[in-house]
Chains A and B, each alone.
Chain A
Amino acid sequence: MALKDRLNTLRRESGVEPASASAGDVASRLERLRAGSRPRSSAPPDAKRPVDPHALAAGLGARVLGDYLLCREVAVSAAATEALSAALTTAPGLPERSEIDPGSLLFVDTETSGLAGGTGTLVFLVGLLRWEAAGPVCRQYLLTGFGGEPALYQSLSAEAATASLVVSYNGKSFDAPLLRDRACLNRQASPLAALAHLDLLAPMRRLFATRWPDCRLATAEALLLGEHRSDDLPGDQAPLAWFDFVHRGDTQRLPGVLSHNEQDLVSLMRLLPPLLGAHQAPLAYGGDVAATARAWLRHGSEDRARDLLADAEACLADAERLELARLARRAGDRDTAVRIWRALAEQGNERAIEAIAKHYEHRLGDPSTALAWARRLSGLEAQRRCRRLESKRDGAMAQGELGL
């Protein structure tokens, strides 16, 4: 092949190859070329064995859904769904999603040909977990070739039509955009676009980012569920497993990818109850109270934010205690507010001193005490406040004298 020879000559000319290398077959020279530079994504496709889709489906416990598309369906233990239903009765939602209806959930996790992003990254496995009449079921759509993509996205759209909330882990920034992009490439509608999306990574980070070394799914499993996967396939091996299959017909690692994906989905569902619980009582789970309260507050649940802070008052930092005081005052609980301000003001906290001074000035109409507090503050603002209080106090004294 003339072109190939020219390419090899050129590559040699351009210095890609070490000087010592000379003749040899193309494959081994390319191997050498790449040895030092970047890892091969897969072994070369030199020994491609044709794979019979029905045999493969049988081996994986799946059925053939179309050209290049298999579907594997497994029933999931009902224990997890029962735990979730129970949790939802006491804790109906999260700050970003106040009510969760278990019947409408669609847990989603994908395996891809890489993490690089961009349109060249293929989603080759989409796992779904959802409630059905007979109980929770996990359905996995596996591509056995690129030609299966249109059918895959049609199936996903059909699944999505009967659900209303996607639950994922980091899916908002990873899985969903990839599905959208690949669907677009295949001129299909984006399958999840119409559904609301609850990405559990956000609430997980809120609770535990400051408490745990990281918030990966495996870490959450270990620390919230007390589970450690033993024979799990490392996540970065999934692309290799698929490339091995596509290039060489090597199906050896595919079952590992399927069970990894299934476990991820089950974990997602099992993590929801502790996540719901931890948003009600962060301390009980070792979570970050202040961040949780802020989230409730941001989503309009001021009462819950205040209750969380009040329950944990003893272990709050100054800024969080001030926040509690602010919320208490807004709710009309001025005693709590003043108690907190006074305690902090005595330690010299400027914001607390200011709040106390305001309290005496505006609420109690006592400019003298207000002035005493305000004088402990520094800065231009404080000077103005003191001058104003002095004149108020003098005015009040003058009025008092007149009244005599």
Chain B
Amino acid sequence: MASAPDNVVSPDFGDPVRRLAAQLKAKYSDRITGELTVPGREARYEPLPDELDGRLKEALRQRGLEQLYSHQRAAWDAIRAGQHTVVVTPTASGKTLCYNLPVIQDALETGAKALYLFPTKALSQDQVAELVELNQAAELGIRAYTFDGDTPGDARQAVRTKGDIVVSNPDMLHQGVLPHHTKWAQFFESLRYVVIDELHTYRGVFGAHVANVMRRLRRICRFYGSEPIFILSSATIANPAELAQQLAGDAVTAITDSGAPSGEKHLLLWNPPVVNADLGIRASARSQATRITRSAVARGLKGIIFARSRIMVEILTKYLKDTFDSDPRRPSRVAAYRGGYLPTERRRTEQQLRSGDVDCVVATSALELGVDIGALDVCVLNGYPGTIASTWQRIGRAGRRNRASLGVVVASSQPLDQYIVRNPDFFTGASPEHARIDPDQLLILLDHVRCAAFELSFQRGECFGGEPLEELLEYLAEQGVLHREGDAWHWTEDSYPANSVSLRSVAEGNFVVVDQTEGGRRIIAEVDYASAPETLYEGAIYLIQAVPYQVEYLDWDGRKAYVRETPVDYYTDAIDYTRLKILENFESETAADTDTSRGEVHLVRRIPGYKKIRYYSHENIGFGKISLPDQEMHTTAVWWQVHPEALAEAFPSRQQALDGFLGAAYAMHHVAALRLMAEPGDLGRAVGDGDAEWFATTGPGGRGQLRTLDGGEADPEAQREFRPAVFLYDNYPGGVGLSAPLFDQRAAVAADAYELVASCGCEQGCPSCVGPILASEESRGFSPRAAALTALERFARDGTQG
């Protein structure tokens, strides 16, 4: 095979991406802490399989395909040999053909059916569009339908009986298909392939649920005498075959060597410059990301910026629009893309990206998945996404086959970001994370045993999951959910269990944002329940495509926020008070000076008010009050305390102890996330007394404040007892099993945190170690960094002794 000219990357500095990379490196060498160049790769081809149906060959030819990439051919061979197969190759490497070819071939040959599962509806629609196109190109007569919540009732019968390929999502399979499997009898009898795309998204709690849905699916298939082959595809993670195996329930062949061509990739790790050495404050990642993107777009390159929060997407969009979209008569060059926008708006932006009408898109992780947005040149990450896998996935959105691409990871001041840019080898040398799931987490398993029993009675000797099934069945029988008769357990409840089991989270109903500008009542966005309190309070500025809408009235029970477009020069930021009460102590370790414990806590989160923050200057220009119901959660936590005598001895004042604990909590939170291979948002942190009598926050002056239940400020010296604790809690209702490994690693977490703070280059403490330090040493009278070290030293010392 001769190397096609489009694969050769000559060292041509005329390439605009290369030129940009070189200039950034020359001009900002002090900000670039690490770099990596991944050389371009030539395409490796294999011939089309001889046995491939003539009509399929013709359909491929019409799309200009005369041969396959090597991984596509490898997938074909494995799947045709009847092996479960996972394909792990980069974005835009032709993954869909890996499963479409064998599926369609078998549908043409034997009438075999296939079930495609995508994590989101948008991806399902993309997929069906592609299948329809392929199908029409050669009049294959293959019928592919989506089956999800939007499928009208009168169309469902046709999907069930006529569909060769049914495209759905795990939630629909769980609630709409499996509990009604007899309606799908024909489909299941001929089901030969289950395709699971975006495998890497099935991790954590969601992954554990989906693995159990797959157990149910395989059980139903066995009932109908079919044994489908699983075909999975994934972005790069450390353990694709292991994860695939957990979903397929059997050994899976992994195909990881991509034959698709790729252009050279430049990766820069970027640390914003220090702007205030005293306070250890660096320029914001936001300002740096905006600057890098501006210079890329100004050179005519297409770019994407990933931000970690929805609000940051809107702020970055505004700043870029101020530069590039100042003339309202011209079409927009900058677009925002995030969850919460209506599907039609997202489809429009995707279309504009594909056609090249938009030069730059600012997005959350919503664009991390395989939505087709065409080819881009530059990808800027505003902050480290939290995992190596996710970083590569996002950077992979930029890159054309015959041109260089550039990715820049701009570190924020958060400790995890700082750790990554200061230790570039950690990032460039390490393998991506493992996607871990625990399908045998008892509560999740129990939920799905209930669902499975509803679908088909359990027979003695059956297997389902890694726990003793009969004990689970007897447990349910004792509750009257099941009834044992002879060697079988039957469903005996008047209910539909799948409806009470959500695969994703506690779904309490989304909020809709209703625009009443000009007297209308237009729904312009949706906000999930969990983030509603911090985004939709009355007075909040809610941004859509950087246009500010003010929330005028929030109907909490009706799940509606009424907004009006309002020209303002500020955005709003909610103040978050979290307090904890210890309900039960599962285990404790008492050492010389400290106690470390794990147990159940009741957490109450209150959003008492918000700050108004002016654009560009970021100064605080006012406060507002919020009256919303408290958010409550039961979860598990690990907490660290210092014995009262040791505490009094270590800290000259309670104020210092409070600041020390707050600083220690900040460092420990981030270190713990890294240790647990979790994202920082999976854990929460708090400092309080454990009786919910008081909790501590960092006040506007940068000093620790002790607050009582109603949020009022209290004097730490006036407390009768003073037993502060650092809490790190599992940030999911009910917990997802993070606290037990955290307790096991309690010593390492304290030691790592001590190390992080002790080795930080700052003077008094900074956002990279103990959190932002606003008050100067003079006004405070002591170093918060030293105070945090005092606390951490005791936690770490006792940990190593214990």
Query: A residues touching B (Cβ–Cβ < 8 Å)?
Result: 1, 3-4, 6-7, 9-16, 19, 26-27, 30, 38, 40-45, 68, 113-120, 122, 145-147, 180-181, 184-185, 239-240, 243, 246-247
Once the chains bind, are B495 and A119 in contact (CB under 8 Å)?
no
Q: A239 contacts which chain B residues (CB < 8 A)?
A: 494
Q: How far does the alpha carbon of A116 sit from the alpha carbon of B734 in the complex, in Å?
A: 28
- Give the nearest-CB partner of B471 in chain A: A3
The 6 lowest CB-CB distance pairs between A and B, nearest first, are: A15-B634, A14-B734, A114-B494, A120-B454, A116-B496, A181-B182
Given A10-B443, A14-B634, A19-B583 in contact, is the A45-B483 Cβ separation under 8 Å? yes
Once the chains bind, are A43 and B494 in contact (CB under 8 Å)?
no
Once the chains bind, are B455 and A19 in contact (CB under 8 Å)?
no
Once the chains bind, are B600 and A12 in contact (CB under 8 Å)?
yes
Once the chains bind, are B185 and A184 in contact (CB under 8 Å)?
yes
Given A115-B494, A247-B480 in contact, is the A10-B442 Cβ separation under 8 Å? yes
State which of A14, A16, A180 has its C-beta within 8 Å of the C-beta of B182: A180
Once the chains bind, are B600 and A13 in contact (CB under 8 Å)?
yes
Q: Does B22 contact A (CB under 8 A)?
A: no
Once the chains bind, are B492 and A243 in contact (CB under 8 Å)?
yes
12 A-B pairs in the complex with CB atoms less than 8 angstroms apart:
A3-B472, A7-B446, A15-B633, A19-B583, A42-B480, A44-B480, A113-B494, A114-B493, A118-B454, A119-B179, A119-B181, A243-B493
Q: Does B193 contact A (CB under 8 A)?
A: no
Given A1-B471, A14-B733, A19-B602 in contact, is the A116-B478 Cβ separation under 8 Å? no
Q: B457 contacts which chain A residues (CB < 8 A)?
A: 146
Once the chains bind, are A247 and B443 in contact (CB under 8 Å)?
no
State which of A14, A38, A41 has its C-beta within 8 Å of the C-beta of B735: A14
Q: How far does the alpha carbon of A192 sit from the alpha carbon of B633 in the complex, in Å?
A: 51
Once the chains bind, are A11 and B443 in contact (CB under 8 Å)?
yes
State which of B181, B467, B485, B586 has its C-beta within 8 Å of the C-beta of A145: B485
Once the chains bind, are A117 and B600 in contact (CB under 8 Å)?
no
Once the chains bind, are B494 and A116 in contact (CB under 8 Å)?
yes
Given A13-B734, A15-B733, A114-B494 in contact, is the A120-B179 Cβ separation under 8 Å? yes
Q: How far does the alpha carbon of A145 sit from the alpha carbon of B453 in the complex, in Å?
A: 16
- Give the nearest-CB partner of A4 in chain B: B475
Q: How far does the alpha carbon of A146 sit from the alpha carbon of B467 in the complex, in Å?
A: 26
Once the chains bind, are B480 and A41 in contact (CB under 8 Å)?
yes
Residues of B446-475 contacting chain A, CB below 8 A: 446, 453-457, 467-468, 471-472, 475
Count chain A CB atoms within 10 A of each CB in B185, B442, B477, B480 and give the residue with the most.
B480
Given A7-B475, A40-B480 in contact, is the A120-B496 Cβ separation under 8 Å? yes
Once the chains bind, are B478 and A119 in contact (CB under 8 Å)?
no
State which of A1, A7, A44, A116 has its C-beta within 8 Å of the C-beta of B495: A116
Once the chains bind, are A147 and B485 in contact (CB under 8 Å)?
yes
Count chain A CB atoms within 10 A of each CB in B468, B498, B583, B636 and give the residue with the most.
B583
A-B contact count (CB 8 A): 127
- Give the nearest-CB partner of B489 in chain A: A146
Q: A4 contacts which chain B residues (CB < 8 A)?
A: 471, 475
- Give the nearest-CB partner of B636 in chain A: A13
Q: A9 contacts which chain B residues (CB < 8 A)?
A: 586
Q: A13 contacts which chain B residues (CB < 8 A)?
A: 600, 634-636, 734-735
Q: Does B584 contact A (CB under 8 A)?
A: yes
Residues of B517-557 contacting chain A, CB below 8 A: none
Total residues of chain B contacting the partner, CB 8 A = 50
Q: B495 contacts which chain A residues (CB < 8 A)?
A: 38, 41, 114, 116
Q: B496 contacts which chain A residues (CB < 8 A)?
A: 116-118, 120
Q: How far does the alpha carbon of A43 sit from the alpha carbon of B493 in the complex, in Å?
A: 11
Q: B454 contacts which chain A residues (CB < 8 A)?
A: 118-120
Q: A44 contacts which chain B residues (CB < 8 A)?
A: 478-480
Q: Does B507 contact A (CB under 8 A)?
A: no
Once the chains bind, are B182 and A184 in contact (CB under 8 Å)?
yes
Q: A243 contacts which chain B residues (CB < 8 A)?
A: 480, 492-494
Q: How far does the alpha carbon of A3 sit from the alpha carbon of B472 in the complex, in Å?
A: 8
Q: A7 contacts which chain B residues (CB < 8 A)?
A: 442-443, 446, 475
B403 to chain A, nearest CB (A): 51
A2 to chain B, nearest CB (A): 9
B389 to chain A, nearest CB (A): 28
Q: How far does the alpha carbon of A147 sit from the alpha carbon of B493 in the complex, in Å?
A: 17
- Give the nearest-CB partner of B735 in chain A: A13
B458 to chain A, nearest CB (A): 12
Q: A6 contacts which chain B residues (CB < 8 A)?
A: 442
Count chain B CB atoms within 10 A of each CB in A16, A44, A118, A185 and give the residue with the most.
A118
State which of A41, A45, A145 has its C-beta within 8 Å of the C-beta of B477: A45
Interface string of B179-190 (1 = CB under 8 A from A): 111110100000
Once the chains bind, are B634 and A119 in contact (CB under 8 Å)?
no
A3 to chain B, nearest CB (A): 4
Once the chains bind, are B635 and A15 in contact (CB under 8 Å)?
yes
Q: How far does the alpha carbon of A120 sit from the alpha carbon of B180 in the complex, in Å?
A: 9
Once the chains bind, are A43 and B480 in contact (CB under 8 Å)?
yes
Once the chains bind, are A120 and B455 in contact (CB under 8 Å)?
yes
A248 to chain B, nearest CB (A): 9
Q: How far does the alpha carbon of A181 sit from the alpha carbon of B496 in the complex, in Å?
A: 15
Once the chains bind, are B733 and A119 in contact (CB under 8 Å)?
no
Q: A115 contacts which chain B residues (CB < 8 A)?
A: 494
Q: Does B694 contact A (CB under 8 A)?
A: no
Q: How far does the alpha carbon of A53 sit from the alpha carbon of B485 in the complex, in Å?
A: 15
Once the chains bind, are B494 and A3 in contact (CB under 8 Å)?
no
- Give the nearest-CB partner of A248 in chain B: B480
- Give the nearest-CB partner of B180 in chain A: A118
Once the chains bind, are B478 and A27 in contact (CB under 8 Å)?
yes
- Give the nearest-CB partner of A20 in chain B: B583
State which of B456, B483, B600, B633 has its C-beta within 8 Å of the C-beta of A246: B483
Once the chains bind, are B494 and A119 in contact (CB under 8 Å)?
no
Q: A180 contacts which chain B residues (CB < 8 A)?
A: 182
Once the chains bind, are A181 and B183 in contact (CB under 8 Å)?
yes
Q: Does B11 contact A (CB under 8 A)?
A: no
- Give the nearest-CB partner of A112 in chain B: B494
Q: Does B562 contact A (CB under 8 A)?
A: no
Q: Does B490 contact A (CB under 8 A)?
A: yes
Q: A184 contacts which chain B residues (CB < 8 A)?
A: 182, 185
Q: How far does the alpha carbon of A98 sit from the alpha carbon of B586 in the complex, in Å?
A: 74
Count chain B CB atoms within 10 A of each CB in A119, A181, A184, A239 and give the residue with the most.
A119
Q: How far does the alpha carbon of A385 sit from the alpha carbon of B475 in the complex, in Å?
A: 79
- Give the nearest-CB partner of A1 in chain B: B471
Q: A117 contacts which chain B residues (CB < 8 A)?
A: 180, 496
Interface string of B573-614 (1 = CB under 8 A from A): 000000001011010000000000000101000000000000
State which of B179, B467, B488, B493 has its C-beta within 8 Å of the C-beta of A41: B493
Count chain A CB atoms within 10 A of each CB in B446, B493, B494 and give the residue with the most.
B494
B530 to chain A, nearest CB (A): 15
A152 to chain B, nearest CB (A): 14
Given A19-B602, A118-B496 in contact, is the A3-B453 Cβ separation under 8 Å? no
A236 to chain B, nearest CB (A): 9
Count chain B CB atoms within 10 A of each CB in A3, A180, A247 and give the residue with the most.
A3
Once the chains bind, are B453 and A120 in contact (CB under 8 Å)?
yes
- Give the nearest-CB partner of A239 in chain B: B494
Q: How far does the alpha carbon of A42 sit from the alpha carbon of B454 in the complex, in Å?
A: 17
Q: A119 contacts which chain B residues (CB < 8 A)?
A: 179-182, 454-456
Q: Does B491 contact A (CB under 8 A)?
A: yes
A135 to chain B, nearest CB (A): 37
